[in-house]
Structure 1
Amino acid sequence: MTHLQKLRVASILKWVSLNFYENHLRSSTTPFQPIGSFSNAQSPRLYRTKRASEDKDSENVDKPSTGNEKNAGQISSSIKKEAQAALLDYLHGTRGVQFMDAENMSKNSPHFLDKLLKQVDSEKEILMKKNNEKEIGREISRFLRYHPINEFEPFFESLGLKPSEYFPLLPRSLMFLTDDQLLVHNYTVLCHYGIARNKIGKIYKEATEVFQYDFEVLLSKLKAYEKLGLSQPTLIKFFVASPYLLIGDVNVEFVKALENLKSIGFETNWIEGNLSADSSYNWSQMLEVLRLFSEMGCSNEHLGELIGQHPYILFEGSGGNTISLIGLLLKFGSTKSQLCSMFLQFPPIPVVKFVSNLRQCILFLNEIEMKVSEIGKIVHSHPLLLGSISLKKANSLLNTLKTGKTRLCRYIQENPQELKNWVLGKRVDPFPGSGENRISKTQKTKFLLDIGFVDNSNKMKKALRGKGGELQERFDCIVKAGLSQEDVCEMIKAR
């Protein structure tokens, strides 16, 4: 395989990486370029950019610590309760935070509480004492009286964010929640709407601007979505799964995606049931997936059947992995009708696993130095096979089969279905010796006997490597160069 061919295969593999949709698709100049375009969609900023110094500082802050590690295991639940009570009293009684919010902050900010205990114990070493529960509570109260805390730390942690997540979000010049009235107001609106406090952190991280809306703005947006006929519990699930829906006006792509899914037989409760609160969904991209299947000639009936059996085709990565797969197979020459047919036979595995298997198979064929054109033929003809199997590594398989790359390439081209017998965890038997090998061995034995080796001797077994016919040619070439046959024979025997 030439260097250019290897570069072409490497380029294909890079193209189908799991970051394909974000890094390649929107800037591609191929006919496939429009897929996934966001040109007419909103482009919400889902995450703040982290500064390098912040990344470094927050690298290890997710690990709870109480200072002296030998004391960490001695912190009993009773001590923690006293510490929580002291923090609650400070937040509600001293700082005027609403009781429910103060209680949530004191009970659901373990990292901050550990840090507070560390600060107090560094002076008094109370944790080393016995029956120290009441004393630790008094010391925390005294400490807080003279050392005001950054209230945003326990606040953000109580909303479900890890220290490494909220560290970059901390206000630069504020310490007290009352200093950011809009943040507290919009947080309260979401709480009253029914969104769990430990889910609000996800909304803050992915749609921070929502918390700077002026008074009554957020509530009006929530009411606007209710006019779509969606229930409040359903909307809560959608807002947590896709916080950016709260940015700007009612999201048009979201509405269209729901309408398209309803037209192929899926009601809102089914859609809601396939969303995970721990994932984030891009409805514009999911709408693009539905449009792609329609362009491929997939009828509403077939599309409903496909998504009903394999909902991850749409919901896994918001359909980004599906778009990557479609793009890859189009590059290998598949037609839209062939793609539709393939998806209707899709195996019961996640799309990301299918793409990974397909990518590994392409790598395997590249490693055994199969021609790029032949790789293309196999991928085009057998995508379901390649995406359904997890192949062994090329070197391991070559050793097990006891064969070379050329013969293996030829065998795969003639028997592509044999690939499914070479998957991880399955026993593989060596290839039977070929007729060429037997002829070569016979020629080599005859050559060695002719120059004086004893049949089946150890020296004969360790003798020259190479094909039998080639050994005789090399011998004749050396003799023609001027050496006598006797000298050449002695040279070979002396190896």
Structure 2
Amino acid sequence: MFRNQPSRTASRDSSGFGFPWNKLGRLYKEDPSIFSKHPKELTDRLCEYKSYGFDNVTLIGICLSFPYVLSGECKLGGEIDALFDDLKKLCIHFDLIRCVEGNVDTWYEVCRKILVFYDMGCEKGMVGELMGRSKHIFVEYSEEILVQKMEFFCRLNVKKEEVGLLILRSPEILSFDLETPMISVLDFLKHFGFSMKKLKSIAQEYPHVMGRNKMANLPHVMRALDLHEWFFNELKGGNHHLLGDYVFSGADGALDRDFKDGLDRIHSSRTPLHTISKLNFMHGIGFGENNLTMKTLVHLHGTSSELQQRFDCLLRIGVDFSKLCRIITLSPKILNQNPRIIERKVKFLCQDMGSSLEYLDVFPAFLNFDLENRIKPRYRFHMWLSEKGWCTKNYSLASMIATSEKNFVGRIYGIHPAAPKQWFECFSYKKSSNGCVKRH
């Protein structure tokens, strides 16, 4: 069929299979090993697949999208059988073939859309029935739309497989505009059935999330409220239509006066685009159009992409999304540091100091202090005092680190008159000239 470099006879074979020349490059890029196979081996394999009931055009589209069915990397009876079981249900039993224009380009696009669901983790051999019942999505929506919608729900921090199944079970979601509409957070939650008592409690606990935001930011709004799991369960449970039915009415969504004043100041400043970009970052992680958002914004330094990297770093380390948003309102400057520095401080907190990430809920400013010149020497000095038996009181990390130098020295003098001399000579970063090194 095609072996090594395609010859003039490579576009057709004795069994009538014909792969378009303009698609062979894509197939070679996906799996070059196919072109080292003997033509008869490929022909026999294709004839075996054709026995499932597919015509040549459909089968070529399948092979272009799932090259491993030609390469033989997966044996029949395993993944390939599971794949063809799904495709047979979708294309033949549910008659998708009748809905698709019979050319290779169209079938390749259809199979690419099917591949999207497998890439999301949907198990081959288990979703053919669901795909068949929602077969219209493979004709009416582009691959880009499918990926876009799935990415929206994946931002709820749920399993990708669950997102794929949600789309297959509730395909009308694909018609919802999840980008441009505005939402009012409390109005949206009310639309989903929250009582006034519950709404009041949420407003008090999460003031930084209140106000208006874009529908595109809804997944992170829900994560900032710690309601993402509840929300996704509502969608899975049949209330997905509420997402499509929601209309921003302006109720409880009027622009916050203080927020508007802050917005006016931004637009009249020297760097409005830079500041608006940072504000959009904040909205993107769930902060609403409110005064607290503006107050927090003032303390954030760096570009929006740098702020996002630092935020993602803290998430990757293990800080809970909702807690991290609240921490930022208490100590915004934690986002003004290089991710590598943040990682080192958290590592020292958890491994050397024996604390946990939860301590950042109590003392988020820990991340604002210099690791080498403040955190390490003070902590190690207190450990030394305890080992000497001079300090019998357990001081909190905050009292060790956040205390001013003057008060710190006064405290350790009260613990032992000789302590300040030891601090300045062997622990403080203001090391004396006698060559005494810091304690490690």
Q: Which has the larger radius of gyration?
A: 1
TM over 0.5: no
Which protein, 1 or 2, shows the higher relative CO under an 8 Å CA cutoff with sep ≥ 6?
1
| TM-score, length of structure 2 as denominator length | 0.36
